[in-house]
Amino acid sequence: MKAVVLAGGFGTRIKPLTYSLPKPMLPLAGKPILEHVVNLLKDHGISELVFLLYFQPEVIKNYFQDGKGFGVNISYVIPPEDYGTAGAVKFASEYLSEKETFLIISGDLLTDVNLGELVDFHKNKNAMVTIGLTTVKDPLQFGIVITDNNGRVIKFLEKPGWGEVFSDSINAGIYVMEPEVLEYIPGKQVFDFSHDLFPRLLGEGKPIFGFLLNGYWRDVGDVSSYIQANMDILAGKVRVKGSGKRLDIVGKNIWLGEDVEIAPDAELEGTVILGNGVRIKGKTRIRDSVIGERSQIMKGTRISNSVLWNDTYIDENSLIEGSVICSNVKIGRDVRIEPGVVVSENCLIGDGAVLKEGIKIWPGKEVESRAIVSSNLIWGERWKRSLFEESKVLGLSNIELTPEFAAKLGAAFASFLPRGSSVLTGRDTYRAPRMIKRAFVAGVLSAGVNVKDLKAIPIPILRYKLQTFGEVGGVYFRYSLDNPEVTEILFYDSNGFEVSVSFEKSFERIFQREDFRRVSEGAVGRISDLSGIVDFYREGFINAIKRESIKEKGFRIVVDFSFGPSSEYFPSILSELGCEVISLNAYTVEYGNGVNTERALGLLSNIVRATDATAGFWLDPWGERLYIVDETGRIYKDMDSFFLVFHLVLKAESSGVVAVPLFVPSYVEEAAGESGFSVKRTKNSIRALSDTVRDKSIKFVSFPDGRFMFTGFQTAYDGMFALAKTLELMARLDVKLSEVFRAVPKINFLHATIPCPWEFKGVVMRKASEEAMGKNATFLDGVKIYFDDSWVLIFPDQYKSMIHLYAEAKTEDRVYSLMEEYKKKIENWIKTP
């Protein structure tokens, strides 16, 4: 049997370790990851290997040569382009037999699994493809594979959201395949196993199986997993071949290369690997660490749980804990390096410097003596699990989200767009978002993309323009309503929709690689204003509303503009509608403490009553969200505001489709059906809900946090238009808001959040799916279980360490008991996984 070893990855997520080495060549316990893979194959009798290379192929070829020095025969294949995993294997098909089963394995895995069991299972099942599976605590970054009781694959989920995680069995990057599989892979084009080939085979009913591998498995995907992989080898958790000879010392596990010198008073504890030519001076203490070849550790230095590459020099009395020190690094005296630090190759760390926990020093940098480094030397931002959080990037202004960071974001964004195209930008009136926007725009221009700048503008106006022709995307900069010290950058596509997950992932790859397009001086983008945009929006707005109905009523309303830019544009529209407007906070500010929504609504309620107004409306600072106060002073927000506007729509319109997220109470179906409407349920996210309006039959969309979309005007959340539409519906029905809400019955509905560490989210979803077995349940987003008189919905938060729990029942007692029952279950699942 031959094995194909996939060794062409860029190792983007594990930078800066992969600046000068391809990821498979990163050393684990003194040997490249790829050498451990070769040893595993050889131990299972597989000696004919095909290496698929792409990034820095010469490094791998120079190390392994023809493979004979490692007891194997190696052929090298280097595709001219990145064809993806399956496409690369197709390119190497001439090295594979047309009649022989072959094995595929990723070259950046640390594992000691039994490959023989995998091959035997494959043959016993007469499978076309068998996928090696393993279980992990956090399956989000991997492809989840769901099988039936016989091991046959029934579903693939490629890097799912938490609401789709119904198993913690993932694709381990090890496959056994029959040669006819190659017939299903097109030649010389991008084609991936998980994204393209496996779904195609599954769709055609081909025998694809999954086998749960026995043994250790770790994807060395980032710096923390790299350190942990080394520590697992030292702890004996994985069976790999050691380097050098083992000293026979009771209670210690010391491995020495050739020509190693250790001072008599040096202390080596736990498992320590010392490469060839290492020098350990007096009174040093080294515990559970790997010291690379020709490295020198001077007197009094302490090193624990760390990995040092070749040719490092650590001067006297320094302290290194849980870190990676790459090759050719010189560290001075009395230096303190805290856990999680990476010092890249060819760096110089001065005497007395302190490298704080988790920071990363890029190659060739110098840290001055006694400097305290508390952020990455190149970027000042915090490293996160993901750059995006549902179509936006956010961070503390000028700390995590700096001008340098924003400029790189702009360059990455523009590199994804056609040269010479144009994007819209807009902002609120705070100083920090304006600063970040200007830096971002500079990055966009540097990549040859033009900017049409709307300056301070409500978000709905920017999105309305994007729904016409002329721009390929839009970006909006604002402060966070939760914390005004945080700036948020919102990204929209050419139709004004929130950008897709696939866009986010592609964007992140460009950003992390710093693969920015640079253009010549004459091709740098231009900045221009876009005149007439407000008039364009006003015209469409007025044409989409029945203004005569509103004018006839002569409504007196109170509007809180929350110091946002809508205060500069919306009053004139309300005037055209014949409204008498009492304005609150109708001016803009450049800095402050943001908006206290509860206080603002309380004041709004008091003024509505005091002025005998028809209604009061609270707009968020960007004109997107709307809360309502009726003529009695009652406040409607979140679910109440949704049901109020929902009932107005049902009473005034004859038919249509309403889109709401899955967690909204079931009463919407009952009420909609009685009025000739139907309901479309979506996943529990703002972006998923927005995507539904691509279906032209949908008239009304609402996320119950004050976001409303009337698709007859625009396919974006627009609090200003929702305000006017509410007045129109009131006028046409000749009703007061309090009368409308009296038609809404008491709904026994509860929502709770349960704290849950990230590593247990997969466990909770697996337990929830097991709980749903044999019951009436759906799995659109999370697990929703139906009972005769109630339902419960469980789904993990996509960005926070928590689980959402929703419940609805016919009686109040039942909904409280159901909520308490499942809250305890989830807490127990977390405690006893």
DSSP string, 21-84: S-GGGSEETTEEHHHHHHHHHHHTT--EEEEE--SSHHHHHHHHTTSGGGTSEEEEE--SS--H
For residue 477, the cross-strand partners are 427, 489
Q: Any residues with CB less than 8 A from the CB of 604 and at least 6 apart, and which?
A: 558, 560, 584, 616, 617, 618, 629, 635
What is the rounded average pLDDT for all residues in the chain?
91
Q: Look up the pTM and report it.
A: 0.66
Q: In the predicted model, what is the mean pLDDT of residues 733-756?
A: 94
Question: What pLDDT is stored for residue 382 in this prediction?
Answer: 36
Angle at 334 between CA 381 and CA 265, to 5 degrees: 130
Q: Is 259 left (phi over 0), alpha (psi -120 to 50) or beta?
A: left
Whether the predicted pLDDT of 687 surpasses 80: yes
**According to the model, what pLDDT value does residue 383 have?**
38
Model pLDDT, residue 240: 87
Do strands 748-755 and 802-809 pair parallel, antiparallel, or not at all (unpaired)?
A: antiparallel
- Based on the number of CB atoms within 10 Å of its own CB, is 832 exposed (0-12), middle (13-18) or buried (19 or more)? exposed
Fold of 748-831: TATA-Binding Protein (3.30.310)
Which residues does 759 contact at the CB level (< 8 Å), separation at least 6?
137, 138
Average pLDDT over residues 95-121: 93
Look at residue 140 and tell me whether its pLDDT is greater than 90: no
Distance between CA atoms of residues 156 and 626, nearest Å:
39
Q: What percent of the chain has pLDDT over 70?
A: 96
Model confidence at 514, in pLDDT bands (50, 70, 90)?
confident
Average pLDDT over residues 192-203: 90
User: Scanning the structure block, which residue is given the tokens 């040096």?
Assistant: 266
192: pLDDT strictly greater than 80: yes
Please tell me if the domain spanning 536-742 has the same topology as the one spanning 748-831: no
Least confident of 85-94, 250-259, 336-345, 805-814: 250-259
Is the domain covering 536-742 a CATH 2.40.50.1020 domain?
Answer: no
What separation, in Å, do the N-terminal and C-terminal C-alpha atoms of the chain show?
Answer: 39
Superfamily of domain 2-219: Spore Coat Polysaccharide Biosynthesis Protein SpsA; Chain A (3.90.550.10)
Q: Which two tokens stand for residue 441?
A: 């725009």
Separation CA 210–CA 153 (nearest Å): 6
| Average pLDDT rounded to a whole number, residues 202-221 | 92
- Which amino acid, residue 814? R
Residue of 488, 447, 459 whose CA lies nearest to 622: 459
User: How far apart are alpha carbons 261 and 6 in whole angstroms?
Assistant: 38
Residue 379, pLDDT above cutoff 50 = no
Helices (H), 657-700: 667-674, 686-691
Q: CA–CA distance from 609 to each of 250, 550, 634 (Å)?
A: 84, 21, 10
In what helix (H) or strand (E) does residue 434 lie, and over which residues does it extend?
helix 431-446
Residue 387: band (very low, low, confident or very high) from pLDDT cuts 50, 70, 90: confident
The span from the CA of 73 to the CA of 50, in Å, is 8
Q: How far apart are CA 451 and CA 476, in angstroms?
A: 12
> What percent of the residues of the chain are helix, what percent strand, and what percent coil, each to the nearest 5?
30, 25, 40
Mean pLDDT lowest for which of 34-48, 297-311, 380-394, 814-828? 380-394
Report the residue count for the chain.
Answer: 833
Question: What's the pLDDT tens digit per position in 2-46?
Answer: 999 999 877 778 888 888 889 999 999 889 999 999 999 999 999
The residues spanned by each domain of the chain are 2-219, 243-373, 392-530, 536-742, 748-831
The top-level CATH class assigned to 392-530 is: alpha beta
Question: Over 90: is that where the pLDDT of 300 sits?
Answer: yes
- Of the listed ranges 129-143, 191-205, 744-758, the least confidently predicted one is 129-143
pLDDT of residue 768: 95
pLDDT at 386 over 70: no
Pick the CATH number of 243-373 from 2.40.50.140, 3.40.50.720, 2.60.40.10, 2.160.10.10: 2.160.10.10
Q: What is the mean pLDDT of residues 660-666?
A: 95
CA angle 273, 274, 277 (to 5 degrees): 165
Sign for the CA dihedral angle at 762, 768, 770, 772 comes to negative
